[in-house]
Amino acid sequence: MNIVIIGLGQVGRYIADFLFREKHNLTLIDKDPQVLEKLGDSIDALTIAGHGASAQVLATADVPNADLVIAVSSSDEVNLLAAATSKQFGAKRTIARVSEFDLWKSSQPVSRGLLDIDLIINIKMIAALEIIRLIRSMEAVLIEDFADSKIEVEQLPVSDSCKILHTPLKDINLPGKSIIASIIRNGELIVPGGDDMIEQDDEIIVIGDVNAIPEMEKLIEGTSLVRKANKVALLGGGEIAFWVAKFLIQKKLEVMIIDSNRDRCVELSEQLDDVTVINGDATSTALLKEEGIDAYDVCITLTNDDELNLMTALLAKGLGVERTIALVHKPDYMDVYREIGISVTVSPRLVAAKQILKYTREKQVRSVTPLRDGAGEILEITASPESKITTRPLEKVGFPRGAVIGAVTKSDGSVFIPRGPDTIEAGETAVIFMLPRVRKRVIKLFN
């Protein structure tokens, strides 16, 4: 595909690097020549220094012949104008990233067709929904939804009380409509076979019907009852915190927000019913103790300062909060945060980049979600009529090692876990965990 990327900040660089590895023809536009020069050392692409919404710059980038234009600069106005202009010039598809809610009156994370732009990604809303998913499970490191939220993928740490340690997977009676798709051991992604076993300190990726995932959590966590969050503390009262709180009170959870800006606290208290809003310093041990932070199930740090988020998350953890989630604006910090005890990190930029990458695929591919910087992928793909996958049982199609079908949704919306004798019908959508090296072979089976 011929792809034009406008804006080479953290989101643009992540997308460019991923698409370059997939051997797309890239044109990169940024107003800073030094950024382009530095990126040119690692990515073979046409680079253009200039304003991303300039008609002259877009013409130089041959936008009329572009299969996809992705506008992800730091300016919402530039992104919207660049994407809309590119579509008028003849680009087949356009995507724009925005971060300010009041630019377009919508509370949806993804909007289609506005200003003739194919897709508008709301970065703050996407980050808020990512946090909501992580709150749903007290143990998950990662949660993704597929097939209109009928299928869920979770990455779960393995505790020493796990019920299925040291047992070959073929001998484990897994909950209905769920499978173990991958084992993460010492940083390596493994697509397991029947003789493989789960070891202590592993993390596993499970795929299944949303109703089966809680049973899988019980199996992995080794507890008779999966813990759920009832009380959530938000340290920082920005827009992401507002939307997280709004979603949580709809689920009848108890929510407290602490923010140092008095005017913002007044605004939040007026907009959010049934939320406790505290004006104060979230780094104050005395304040956190006074507000009973140790009684909260989850503490989420949501300021614009990474160091402050880290410090307050560690402080809350030290005061007895078991699960901490930190917003990380610099993705390079994410692994460090987890190594020093933060339960989960969320990068708005990486979440937005992954969402955008879902829409850069072949027609029948509904989405591709990279995991662990592209070491693994979750493919959501619809079977075409007369494709190899629809004409014979799965055990006879030569499905590649390094990929596993986690679940399939039928045309009536029901979900099933396919086995060897099963056949996937045309129009049905499969959610597949795979290593990138086998992606082309998997897609070929569905063409």
Domain check: are 238 and 203 in the same one?
A: no
Domain check: are 71 and 148 in the same one?
A: no
Query: pTM to 2 decimals?
Result: 0.69
* Structural domain includes residue 108: no
Look at residues 164, 194, 221 and tell me which one is the last residue of a structural domain: 221
Domain check: are 13 and 93 in the same one?
A: yes
Burial class (CB in 10 A: 0-12, 13-18, 19+), 22: middle
CA pair distance 171, 168, nearest whole angstrom: 6
DSSP state letters, 398-434? TPPTTEEEEEEE-TTS-EE---TT--PPTT-EEEEEE
* Structural domain includes residue 152: yes
Look at residues 98, 119, 150 and tell me which one is the last residue of a structural domain: 98
The pLDDT tens digits for 179-189 are: 888 888 887 88
The pLDDT tens digits for 279-290 are: 999 999 999 999
Confidence at 108, pLDDT banded by 50, 70, 90: low
CA pair distance 170, 53, nearest whole angstrom: 55
Predicted local confidence at residue 271, as pLDDT? 92
- Give the orientation angle of helix 239-250 with respect to helix 262-271, to 10 degrees: 30
Confidence at 30, pLDDT banded by 50, 70, 90: very high
The pLDDT tens digits for 317-365 are: 999 998 899 998 877 777 777 778 787 888 887 888 777 877 776 667 7
Confidence at 101, pLDDT banded by 50, 70, 90: low
Closest-CA residue to 28 (of 65, 70, 67, 84): 70
Residues contacting 212, CB < 8 A, separation 6+: 175, 176, 177, 178
CA pair distance 357, 322, nearest whole angstrom: 33
CA pair distance 221, 126, nearest whole angstrom: 28
CA pair distance 243, 186, nearest whole angstrom: 36
CA pair distance 333, 114, nearest whole angstrom: 35
Domain check: are 281 and 381 in the same one?
A: no
Look at residues 98, 117, 144 and tell me which one is the last residue of a structural domain: 98
Q: What is the CATH number of the domain that holds 255?
A: 3.40.50.720
Q: Strand locations in 267-418, DSSP E?
A: 275-279, 298-301, 323-327, 344-346, 365-371, 376-382, 403-409, 415-416
Give CA separation, 327 vs 82, 109, 230, 274, 337, in Å.
29, 18, 21, 24, 10
The pLDDT tens digits for 192-215 are: 888 888 888 888 888 888 888 778
Residue 408: CB atoms within 10 A of its CB come to: 21
- Across 371-382, average pLDDT: 81
Predicted local confidence at residue 226, as pLDDT? 46
Q: What is the CATH number of the domain that holds 136?
A: 3.30.70.1450
Could you give the percent of the chain with pLDDT greater than 90? 32
CA pair distance 245, 26, nearest whole angstrom: 39
User: Residue 165 sits in which domain range?
Assistant: 129-221
Q: What is the mean pLDDT of the chain?
A: 85
Predicted local confidence at residue 107, as pLDDT? 55
Helix (H, G, I), strand (E, B) or coil at 124: helix
Predicted local confidence at residue 7, as pLDDT? 93
Residue 227: CB atoms within 10 A of its CB come to: 14
Helix (H) or strand (E) segment spanning residue 146: strand 142-146
